[in-house]
Amino acid sequence: MTEQPAPGGTTAVDAPLVSFTGIDHAVLAKRTRRWGWVQYSSYRHAAERPFLGSSLAVALGNPILYLAAMGLGLGSIVRHDVDGVGYLWFVAPGLLVSTVVSTAAQFGTWPIFGGFKWQRTYLAAQATPLEPRQMAQGETLAITVRLLVQALLFWLLGFAFGAWPGGASLLNVPIATLAGLAMFTPLMAYAATLEEEGLQFSFVQRLIVMPMFLFAGTFFPLSVMPLSLQWIGWISPMWHGTQLARMASYGLSEPPWLVAVHLVVLVVFFVGGLWAASRTFTRRLVR
């Protein structure tokens, strides 16, 4: 940069000056009020760039491993149909949904906690026109993009394994994303309340995500479980998402009231979690 004369007639001699072009701060504030959540999400995208390769490897590797192990391996010895279809068709929507929901659970815990504690992302953003509520919304937007991409890759790879009976299974992508968000926003709201790093997230992983994965009707219909264990599925976004995904994929028939329950549970978790996160972010940041 070349030297510039400073306003007021003095001339810069030893150091470059900062130019003041007359930015209208009121315009920035107005824009941020409306679009702050989108502006914030650009942070996650920038932060993600160095890890794009490994994220992609995970997003591609996961479905290959699961579909190969469960679909081809386990599927080859499951002789009779489940829900009236072959095991691979049955298990594929469940695998897609549970993979996406697991990713959402990961991103709803440590990265959020770290934003308050380690990277201090939210504390930096707090000095800008952004409101805490918009940071929570921006995180949600960023994870939505990630989950959509991950679900889409899973779906595309599924074709190579013959996991989908038809094109309607593409609906698994938005369904899995919604299920992921239903997991993400409540965890994000919780992560924002933690002041110290403890074992909470290990518990989340081992006592919530893992049992959900095993008991949420991913590998077998929930109805074959004893009633005493079926509740795990009922409170799990994974099960509700999986059932919807099965309807889209191979036409699993569910009574209309149950379809409504699946959708309502997912939307309530998602929206309620986002509302709670707006509050916990604000409480944490504005003191």
| Chosen residue from 25, 196, 198, 255 binding other proteins by CB under 8 A | 25
CB of 281 to other proteins, least distance (A): 12
Over the range 212-240, which residues count as b (16 or more CB within 10 Å of their CB) and which as e?
bbebbbbbbebeeeeeeeeebbeebbbbb
CB of 192 to other proteins, least distance (A): 16
Phi, psi of 199 (to 5 degrees): -95, 5
Q: Which 149-168 residues touch other proteins, going by CB under 8 A?
A: none
Q: Which residues contact 17 (CB under 8 A, 6 or more apart)?
A: 3, 4, 6
Query: Contact between 227 and other proteins (CB under 8 A)?
Result: no
Residue 118 or residue 203: which is nearer to other proteins going by CB? 118
Query: Contact between 7 and other proteins (CB under 8 A)?
Result: yes
| Chosen residue from 78, 106, 129, 254 binding other proteins by CB under 8 A | 129
CB of 194 to other proteins, least distance (A): 18
Let me know: does 240 contact 178? Beta carbons within 8 Å: no
Q: Which 93-122 residues touch other proteins, going by CB under 8 A?
A: 119-121
Q: Which residues contact 80 (CB under 8 A, 6 or more apart)?
A: none
Residue 130 or residue 238: which is nearer to other proteins going by CB? 130
CB of 166 to other proteins, least distance (A): 41
- What is the DSSP track for 17-72? PPP-----HHHHHHHHHHHHHHHHHHHHHHHHGGGHHHHHHHHHHHHHHHIIIIII
Question: Sign of the CA dihedral 237, 241, 242, 244?
Answer: positive
For residue 180, the tally of other CB atoms under 10 A from its CB is 33
Name the residue among 54, 60, 58, 52 with its Cα closest to residue 160: 60
Question: Sign of the CA dihedral 91, 95, 97, 98?
Answer: positive
CB of 146 to other proteins, least distance (A): 17
| Chosen residue from 126, 144, 205, 230 binding other proteins by CB under 8 A | 126
Residue 125 or residue 178: which is nearer to other proteins going by CB? 125
Query: Contact between 23 and other proteins (CB under 8 A)?
Result: yes
The piece of 21-29, 177-185, 223-231, 241-249 that touches other proteins (CB under 8 A) is 21-29
Residue 122 or residue 213: which is nearer to other proteins going by CB? 122
Whole-angstrom Cα distance, residue 215 to residue 265? 17
Query: Contact between 46 and other proteins (CB under 8 A)?
Result: yes
Query: Contact between 257 and other proteins (CB under 8 A)?
Result: no
CB of 55 to other proteins, least distance (A): 14
Whole-angstrom Cα distance, residue 222 to residue 211? 13
| Chosen residue from 67, 125, 142, 222 binding other proteins by CB under 8 A | 125
Question: Which residues here bind other proteins, judged by CB under 8 A?
Answer: 1, 6-8, 10, 12, 15-23, 25-26, 28-29, 31-33, 35-36, 39-40, 42-43, 46-47, 50, 119-121, 123-131, 285-287
